[in-house]
Amino acid sequence: MELDSIECVSSTDGIDEDEIHHHNTHHPHPHHHHQFSTSKPYNGGSNNNAATAAANGINGIMGPTAIAPATSVHELLECPVCTNSMYPPIHQCQNGHTLCFTCKARVHNRCPTCRQELGDIRCLALEKVAESLELPCKYYNLGCPEIFPYYSKLKHETVCNYRPYNCPYAGSECSVVGDIPFLVSHLRDDHKVDMHSGSTFNHRYVKSNPREVENATWMLTVFHCFGQYFCLHFEAFQLGVAPVYMAFLRFMGDEAEARNYSYSLEVGANGRKLIWEGTPRSIRDSHRKVRDSHDGLIIQRNMALFFSGGDRKELKLRVTGRIWKEQQNSDAGVCIPNLCS
């Protein structure tokens, strides 16, 4: 159940809309060209870059010199069925035709090359070769410069800083992934999320029937400031048996970068006020995880209705807030002239 309306009273600090559009089309990680290496330079090294990338299934980064020598080890490791690189377990038929384990599961025990029965024969020599190769992280084309032996590579890719982000939209299972500029466009165009420039906000959340507090009552607004994007979530959910409202901020980027920012939220009326101050969570942490850890401004329903004023028939919460950047260096050691002798 969505909120009936959201009103932005004032939320600009001088950055205009054009800047958002500019940033949306800007790709933060231009394709770098790296020199990859294998632990043994099987093909002489000069084409390792392209051949390794091709072997790793990365598209779109090969230049005109990307044709690997005819007998490169990467070609040996190419599955003849799906043309992906083969990694252990690598299978072969009795005649020595190799294929990858994904394809093996699909070919009904017939060698796709010679139609002989496939059986269950591993090709250990080729497996050893595959394990010895160093390969670029699969997020190479998103800017990751790392190269690893195969198994370390798999481990790295689950935590790689360049791995795509999940769509931060809450309230539906959205499977879209991508980098931040892409997700910002996606939120605006596909989820019709409100976009605001500026580091301060003043929002009024209005709901005509606050008795219906379902877990699915939520609202998302995106803020653009300091060259970054932030997701302001507002939602109602059951906390134990008590219905509550919660507002919190997530940073569209990694956790390490999120720690450079702080934010405050305030809600109140009639001489009472609740204030929350915190560090935005990275959108690497799911919306649900942040909510369930109560890392934000939580407003009990009775308090929310009190803040709404009137006859308690309508929820009208004015949430104000601010995002700021923390000083990179602490002030310790800085000499304040009048205090130093």
Among 100, 220, 225, 265, binds Zn ion (CB under 5 A): 100
Asked if 105 touches Zn ion (CB under 5 A), the answer is no
Distance CA 272, CA 266 (A): 10
121-154 in b/e burial notation, b at 16+ Cβ within 10 A? eebeebbebbeebbbbbbbbbbbbebbbebeebe
Among 6, 62, 174, 195, binds Zn ion (CB under 5 A): 174
Asked if 15 touches Zn ion (CB under 5 A), the answer is no
Cβ-based nearer residue to Zn ion, 187 or 317: 187
Asked if 93 touches Zn ion (CB under 5 A), the answer is yes
Distance CA 114, CA 305 (A): 75
3-state secondary structure 286-305: CHHHHHHCCCCEEEEHHHHH
Residues 6+ apart with CB under 8 A from 37: 45, 48, 134, 147
Question: Element (H or E) spanning 275, and its range?
Answer: strand 272-278
Residue 62 CB, shortest distance to Zn ion, in Å, is: 19
Asked if 216 touches Zn ion (CB under 5 A), the answer is no
Q: How far is CA 233 from CA 106, 181, 230, in A?
A: 45, 19, 10
Asked if 114 touches Zn ion (CB under 5 A), the answer is yes
* Angle separating helix axes 150-157 and 124-132, nearest 10 degrees: 60
Residue 126 CB, shortest distance to Zn ion, in Å, is: 13
Residue 32 CB, shortest distance to Zn ion, in Å, is: 13
Nearest CA-CA partner of 40 in 151, 136, 107, 129: 129
Cβ-based nearer residue to Zn ion, 57 or 309: 57
Side-chain-side CA neighbours of 202 within 13 Å: the count stands at 5
Question: Element (H or E) spanning 52, and its range?
Answer: helix 48-55
Pick the stretch among 43-51, 158-166, 226-234, 300-308 that binds Zn ion (CB under 5 A).
Answer: 158-166
Asked if 315 touches Zn ion (CB under 5 A), the answer is no
Pick the stretch among 41-49, 74-82, 127-135, 205-213 that binds Zn ion (CB under 5 A).
Answer: 74-82
Asked if 258 touches Zn ion (CB under 5 A), the answer is no
Cβ-based nearer residue to Zn ion, 153 or 224: 153
Cβ-based nearer residue to Zn ion, 138 or 207: 138
CB 110 within 8 A of CB 87: no
Pick the stretch among 42-50, 137-145, 213-221, 243-251 that binds Zn ion (CB under 5 A).
Answer: 137-145
Among 50, 53, 68, 81, binds Zn ion (CB under 5 A): 81
Asked if 113 touches Zn ion (CB under 5 A), the answer is yes
Residues at the interface with Zn ion (CB under 5 A): 79, 81-82, 93, 95, 97, 100, 103, 111, 113-114, 137, 139, 144, 146, 160, 167, 169, 174, 176
